[in-house]
Amino acid sequence: MSGGEGRQAVTSPILVYKIYAEGGRQELVRGANIVGLSARTLKDIVAAGSDSYVLNKSESGGSAQGIMSIFSGGAGIPCSVIAPSVLFEELELKRGTGPVRKPALLEHPGFAK
Alpha helix stretches (DSSP H) within the chain: 65-72
Put simply, whether the predicted model's pTM sits higher than 0.85 gets the answer no
3-class DSSP assignment, residue 17: strand
Over range 99-113, report the average pLDDT: 70
Largest interatomic CA distance in the chain: 53
d(CA 80, CA 62): 16
Over residues 30-44, the pLDDT tens digits come to 888 888 888 888 888
Over residues 46-82, the pLDDT tens digits come to 999 999 888 887 777 655 545 555 555 556 788 888 8
